[in-house]
Amino acid sequence: MSSNFHTEFIPLTIQPQEIESKSFEMITEELGEHSFTEEQYPIVQRIIHATADFELGRSLVFHPDAITAGISAILAGEPIVADVQMVQVGISKPRLAAYGGDVRVYISDQDVMEQAKAENTTRAIISIRKAVKEVKGGIYAIGNAPTALLELIRLVKEGIAKPSLIIGVPVGFVSAAESKEELAKLDIPFITNLDRKGGSPVAVAAVNALSLLAVERGGQK
């Protein structure tokens, strides 16, 4: 047997900040020319960093007011509404807390579970209905449940929900792409991508990128 199989693995000793900086340089080089604005690009870059998926990054679509609306909402201390706990866990909360914001998720609330069972519908739908009643404005970060996004879109169209920004990037085969297509038709700030790809890491990356932009614009408290 060749001795090559016994070569000792030597781990990198680069600092985390250096790794992230190098990753971003590689993303910029590999992505090449693009049509994203200077404000939109940090969102795209961080999503690619989180997923290593350039196709997903290139498919991102932004409402013209999305970045400004998201930054303003964070600086105003508006809450982030997540569709699932995975999104809630991944979001950097200290940056939001500095401006009075937090992350809320309702899908596992007892009353949500009971109502979903009684109405024979999904917890995701009921959780969005509850969120809209309890949250004024806010940023909705939906990375997992297309039904949550579709319900939020319905409530927006009916004038019941008025979110400051919708980050709608659910992953999946059933209604995922369709829900994003409907979101892109709304005349309110949104960030989405028009295919099946997405997921909780994408929603998390978008929120974290926005909060970093908010700190740059508003200053760290």
Q: Of 6, 34, 49, 63, which one is the catalytic site residue?
A: 49
At residue 155's C-alpha, the angle toward residues 154 and 161, to 5°, is 145
Beta bridge partners of 166: 140, 190
Beta strands in 44-196 (DSSP E): 60-62, 80-82, 103-105, 139-142, 165-168, 190-193
CB within 8 Å of 142: residues ≥ 6 apart: 82, 83, 87, 148, 149, 152, 166, 167, 168, 169, 170, 203
Say how many Å lie between the first and final Cα of the chain, rounded.
Answer: 61
Beta bridge partners of 60: 193
Helix 200-218, helix 66-75: angle, nearest 10: 70
49 is catalytic: yes
| Residue pointed to by tokens 């993303």 | 27
CB within 8 Å of 93: residues ≥ 6 apart: 102, 103
Return phi, psi of residue 220, to 5°.
Answer: -80, 125
Q: Catalytic residues, which ones?
A: 49
